Amino acid sequence: MTAYMVVTLDVHDPSWVKEYMEKVPDIYEGYGGKRIVSSGPVTVVEGDAPTPQTMIILTFPTEKDSHDFLADPAYAPWKQKRLNGAKGTIWTFENKLRPGQR
């Protein structure tokens, strides 16, 4: 069952971003991950949630794969760079929509 990872980021030190974007895809792709959306400015149209600078959505074969990516020792230094240079939130969930369901 396809799983999704939704990431919100507010970058306050962009010095890490270019290298992160060059290196990290190889790691998440090793878990079947694929980035499907990377936003520009985000607009809140309903509710009062804080508006992040950026939202990223990735897919993984399973939710476990997304968690294994985040726990991979090869990702650890990149995670630390992200934590040092940005504030963000990560959600993961599996798609529960059945085939043909609308």
Digit-coded pLDDT (tens) for 50-76:
899 999 999 999 999 999 999 999 999
* Res 49 pLDDT > 90: no
Give pairs for 23-26: CB < 8 Å, separation 24+.
Answer: 23/78, 24/75, 24/78
Q: Could you give the CA distance from residue 56 to residue 95 in angstroms, rounded to a whole number?
A: 17
Which has the higher per-residue pLDDT, 100 or 54? 54
Q: Is pLDDT at 5 greater than 90 in this prediction? A: yes
pTM for this model (two decimals):
0.90
- 69-95 pLDDT, tens digit per residue, is 999 999 999 999 999 999 999 999 999
